[in-house]
Amino acid sequence: MKFVRGRIDSIDFVSRRTRRIRISGPGLRGLDWVPGQQVRVLVGSGPGRGNRLPGPLRTYSVWDYDGGAVHLCVADHDGDDPGSLWARNASPGQEVMFTKPEGSFITRPAPYHVFAGEETAAIAIGPMLAALPPGTAAYAVIEVDTAEDRLPMPAAVTWCYRRGAAAASSPVLPASVAELDLPDEPGIAYVAGEARTVQAVRQHLVQDRGWQRRAIITKPFWAPGKKGMD
């Protein structure tokens, strides 16, 4: 596994619990990034004996890349897992190692696009929306806990709220997608976030709207009791 190295330039909050971490350095110039892709960050340190990595990896969608710096948005849910601790304790000047951007959760040519997900998915959906050609028809539904958890989006988004309910197997997102007034012919949908909620949204599109499964690109980012889905 090959890594690139950079240093944290700045950290700021873009929502109640989400930090934007800007990482720059000579090794970050000329990276190939398509909006929606992600990197794997080395978030801890350890002995690194033999072929073992010197710490755990966590996967984060890239919020932005400006040619010399990678911007990550990292949600903090008050946990004590390595990813949350890394983001909470990160500071300017700190060295960061991560893999080059990768992943197939990217937009495809389509008559229109549908985006659906919760907080973790919003970090991928934002740059995907921003990269669409002007005039492209797009519909986006993002579920968050409260209005304070919304990320700044480059296009109109339908926000829906859990208001303290669990994000796992949430009925809120599928219900909000069902309320969308979509064209009769299918487009392409990009659905990400908690695994069972992703399945519920896909089931609605297939069973209730008659979409083919190949027209629905899914990316389960997490599930209860699992650290990551990659």
Reading the chain (230 residues) residue by residue, the pLDDT tens digits are 889 999 999 999 999 999 999 999 999 999 999 999 999 999 976 544 445 677 899 999 999 999 999 999 998 877 788 888 899 999 999 999 999 999 999 999 999 999 999 999 999 999 999 999 999 999 999 999 999 999 999 999 999 999 999 999 999 999 999 999 999 999 999 999 999 999 999 999 999 999 999 999 999 999 987 755 55
Determine the CATH number of domain 113-222: 3.40.50.80
| Overall pTM surpassing 0.85 (yes/no) | yes
Q: Which amino acid is at 42?
A: L
* CATH 2.40.30.10 segments of the chain: 4-98
* CATH 3.40.50.80 segments of the chain: 113-222
Pick among 3.40.50.800, 2.40.30.10, 1.10.760.10, 3.40.50.2300: CATH of 4-98: 2.40.30.10
CA distances 121 to 37, 40, 44, 87, Å, are 11, 16, 24, 18
- β-pairing verdict for 113-117 and 138-144: parallel
CB 227 within 8 A of CB 81: yes
Residue written as tokens 């968050």? 144
CA angle 145, 147, 151 (to 5 degrees): 95
Sign of CA dihedral 14, 16, 18, 19: positive
CB 107 within 8 A of CB 190: yes
What is the structure's pLDDT at 33?
97
